[in-house]
Structure 1
Amino acid sequence: MNLDLPREALEAASQRNFELKGYAFEAAQGAAAMPPDRARGAGSEQNPAPHFCPCGRTEVSALHKRIGEIAEVAAMCGVNIICFQEAWNMPFAFCTREKLPWTEFAESAEDGLTTRFCQKLAKKHNMVVISPILERDRDHGGVLWNTAVVISNSGLVMGKTRKNHIPRVGDFNESTYYMEGNLGHPVFQTQFGRIAVNICYGRHHPLNWLMYSINGAEIIFNPSATIGELSESLWPIEARNAAIANHCFTCALNRVGQERFPNEFTSGDGKKAHHDLGYFYGSSYVAAPDGSRTPGLSRNQDGLLVTELNLNLCQQINDFWTFKMTGRLEMYARELTEAVKPNYSPNIVKEDLVLPPSSG
């Protein structure tokens, strides 16, 4: 259902030239001992291209200013938790194969320029902030990670989670830049619910969603950067399926626009060298455990999607469908343990092993 948003917020979004939409997910009325458990989450999508040319601190500051404007409107709407898109503070340069100047955008997750900026936002607006960045891990030789920093509404850094799966498809062969995540599937207990962050390509892996759910996530954010030619047919399906399968809310967020780079690059797939990846199609949405979902944001305009989530719905759908209770994790774990062994032989029953029918 539509969520009534303050007129001042709608006017501010219009003045700042970004789309603002609001929706609400309700649960059945619980018993007296189970009052509504509501969180108000938001996800943003934006085109960073106007703010970058060439690489430099000035351009990063401009994008900080832009996201600050969006976060201010989110605060007007009473948002408790906000998540930005993947690598929101830099061009999506991971497919150019060039290290410089793009690796210069990497920052410390704990005390980098962008984290300090987001800490101020979180404390100012009493809002949990999820900030996906390119992380430089100076404690481990300057290794780069694709990381989401989770900042409490108090302004303190709660922790971070890292992208577990690196794409190797088309132009999106990002292992040139960063490593697969090594932090597993952390879930963050915030004042407004238990949240997790499944970064971009992880949405294609059902077990990745599952592990966040097993660890107790009620809301799983999926900050992404993906283009129409590659994935638009999958986009409306994956996060929605994950919400159903894991009895939780999922928030799929994507960039918008086209980002052009000065030097040509190619993925080695036979296509001509090019200056851009294609069109980031936005279409951010939120899905609920009962299979319902919001309409998507724009394909071509900056936007903010505000959703009021009744977290009781997670337990109610869990009690009805009992996917977690009927799942056979011990059986899967046993068979997966065997499947990863070098000498594994798939359990395939062949005709020549079937005994012939008895003649008598």
Structure 2
Amino acid sequence: MTRTISVAAIQTSYGSDMQANIDKTIALIREAVSQGAQVILPSELFQGPYFCVTQEEHWFTSAYPWRKHPAVVQLQPVARELGVAIPVSIFEREGPHYFNSMVMIDADGEALGVYRKSHIPDGPGYQEKYYFRPGDTGFKVWSTRFGRIGVGICWDQWYPEAARAMMLMGADVLMYPTAIGSEPHDETLDTAEPWRRAMQGHAVSNAVPVVGANRIGHETLTPEGQTFYGHSFIADHRGDLVEALDREEGVLVHTFDLDFIDRYRAAWGFFRDRRPELYGSLAAGRPTD
């Protein structure tokens, strides 16, 4: 029997009410399921506004242990009812430590574990180092009912090493929940297309489908606000956009033949021809003699 997988991305705006945001996400998950989706990706930190635009200590009260986070607790029975897998992006607290994390919920409602964002940005409008420690879990690939899913979080998506690491762990699909939009230091800079192209490159060089889910809308945690540009997409194993949104709310769904993609990847020889013994400078972080 041919192995297939139907993946989905959710694109929407979020307000300040956590419960309303979770309810809205559940409704869009149900919409994706009605279109045949099996693994459904909401965007990064979908429980509220993207608070990292500023440094405000009160936001630490919105973090929870990953097993007890309201989004995880409420999406587990939804995943079980609908028979779908859901990567859930959360603000996690573990003792005195805080992380930007993802909990993978499988189709039986089981939480398979947590991944903590590895690359933490720090710049105007994206001041994440104030809130989050660098992840300590390493990259992860999750064996779900429908296939092996690798998930990186937002800034992770710009790093080819992260994508390659998940592929070496056997990922069938790569997914990236995201919160990205306007750049406060340069109002003329629109990164929507480079953002897509970076991940399309991962699809090409790893021969793997890639799913990116971003938020939309203008959020007003600062006087000037920040606008999130959406552009969520699904790219195939060639890097071609097979499903895409602009700046509107919606869901994207696409089905892939995993057996065909496995053969395609083997035929291209990207993994056959790797030379790990030459890549020492990648781990050293500097040129080697």
Give the conservation status (yes or no) of the 8 Å contact 2:22–2:46: no
Partner of 2:53, secondary structure, is coil
The whole-number CA distance in structure 2 between the counterparts of 1:60 and 1:336 is 40
Question: What pairs up with 1:212-223 in 2 under 5 angstroms?
Answer: 212-223=166-177
Equivalent position to 1:319, from 241, 266, 273: 266
1:78 aligns with 2:32: no
Equivalent position to 2:200, from 240, 245, 250: 240
Give the conservation status (yes or no) of the 8 Å contact 2:172–2:208: yes
Any gaps of 5 or more consecutive residues in structure 2? Answer: 183-188
Equivalent position to 1:292, from 224, 240, 246: 240
| Matched residue, 2:186 | none
- Relative distance call for 1:345 and 1:319 in structure 2 (3 A) is closer
Partner of 1:155, secondary structure, is coil
1:259 aligns with 2:208: no
| Matched residue, 1:195 | 149
What letter corresponds to residue 230 of structure 2 in structure 1? G
| Matched residue, 1:276 | 225
What percentage of aligned pairs have identical amino acids?
A: 25
Question: Residues 205-259 of structure 1: CA distance to partner in whole angstroms, max 9, x if unpaired?
Answer: 1101110111111111011011143522312201111011112111011110111
1:41 aligns with 2:7: yes
Any gaps of 5 or more consecutive residues in structure 1? Answer: 1-34, 53-58, 265-273, 348-360
| Matched residue, 2:185 | none
Question: Residues 167-193 of structure 1: CA distance to partner in whole angstroms, max 9, x if unpaired?
Answer: 123321210001111111111111100
Question: Residues 81-104 of structure 1: CA distance to partner in whole angstroms, max 9, x if unpaired?
Answer: 11110001111011211121x222
| Matched residue, 2:57 | 99
Equivalent position to 1:115, from 57, 72, 92: 72
The whole-number CA distance in structure 1 between the counterparts of 2:237 and 2:252 is 18
**TM-score scaled to structure 2, two decimals?**
0.93
The whole-number CA distance in structure 2 between the counterparts of 1:130 and 1:193 is 13
Question: Residues 73-121 of structure 1: CA distance to partner in whole angstroms, max 9, x if unpaired?
Answer: 1222222111110001111011211121x22221221122211101011
The whole-number CA distance in structure 2 between the counterparts of 1:42 and 1:170 is 31
Partner of 1:188, secondary structure, is strand
Please state how far the C-alpha of 1:160 moved relative to its aligned partner: 1.4
- Relative distance call for 1:123 and 1:322 in structure 2 (3 A) is same
- Relative distance call for 1:127 and 1:173 in structure 2 (3 A) is same
Please state how far the C-alpha of 1:39 moved relative to its aligned partner: 0.9
Give the conservation status (yes or no) of the 8 Å contact 2:41–2:86: yes
What letter corresponds to residue 134 of structure 1 in structure 2? F
Please report the RMSD computed on the Cα atoms of aligned residues, expressed in angstroms.
1.7
The whole-number CA distance in structure 2 between the counterparts of 1:68 and 1:220 is 22
Q: Look at both structures and tell me which one has the larger radius of gyration over its CA atoms.
A: 1
What letter corresponds to residue 242 of structure 2 in structure 1? T
The whole-number CA distance in structure 1 between the counterparts of 2:225 and 2:282 is 39
